[in-house]
A and B are shown apart, each in its own frame.
Chain A
Amino acid sequence: MKFTIVLHAAPYTSQASLSALRFAQASLAAGHEIVRVFFYYDGVHNTNEFSAAPQDELDLVEAWSTLLQEHGIDAVTCVSSSIKRGIIDTREARRHDRQGHNLRAPAVLSGLGQLVDASLASDRTISFGA
């Protein structure tokens, strides 16, 4: 089956990010396809390149990035959720005159249409929130 996964919650604040990550891993292990992971609202913090976890803790930002890259999964960070939370790419850094940029690859900034598009192309849409 084809899945879209929507993550509404930040890492470390609640269990949602870990729950979604485990679900993604289990669905891939069962042979399903993840059409897109959509990071929404506080979920955009899962794509903050500047986040660094202590060595003895699971680095959720790293874990998401690795999973998405290893399996070639499309990942979108909601642009309107992210800019006001300080997650920006090079283009938005230029546009808003900021000194750095911190969007963690392979996620890209895009709009809500990408969630609708992914849901239409998927058999199931699964959401995780705080």
Chain B
Amino acid sequence: MSTLHTVNKPSWNSDLLASCLRVASAADTLLLIEDGIYNVRTLAALAAALEIPVNQLQICVLRDDLLARGMAQSELPADITAVDQAGFVALVCRHQQSVHWF
């Protein structure tokens, strides 16, 4: 059973991303929303520090929240995809369950 995880805070002031990465499995998707967007810059280093392989995890960001924080899609690492609001809804449908980390 695959799970959609949403994370809405940066890893510099919360443990949400670390907690999420510890339980996420390969078939899951991580969607960064709100201030969770800032994790695009630190996610790889955090995962490495925690010794959690994230290469099989699909990682997305909510485009509206990305743009609202002054970041462009072109700045995203190659393994991170931007989705719009309709894409968020589609991700919810595609996974059997959702876990919302906030």
Chain A residues packing against B (C-beta within 8 Å): 1, 3, 8-9, 14-16, 19, 22-23, 25-27, 29-30, 32, 123-130
Contact = CB atoms under 8 A, between A and B. Distances in A.
| Interface of B: prevailing SS | helix
23 contacts: A8-B102, A14-B34, A15-B8, A15-B35, A19-B34, A23-B88, A23-B89, A26-B86, A26-B89, A27-B89, A27-B92, A30-B86, A30-B90, A32-B89, A123-B93, A124-B98, A126-B98, A127-B98, A127-B100, A127-B102, A128-B100, A128-B102, A130-B102
| Secondary structure class of chain A's binding surface, majority of residues | mixed
B98 A23 contact: no
A25 to B, nearest CB: 7
Contacts of A127: 98, 100, 102
A126 B86 contact: no
A129 B102 contact: yes
A13 to B, nearest CB: 12
A126 B34 contact: no
Nearest to A130: B102
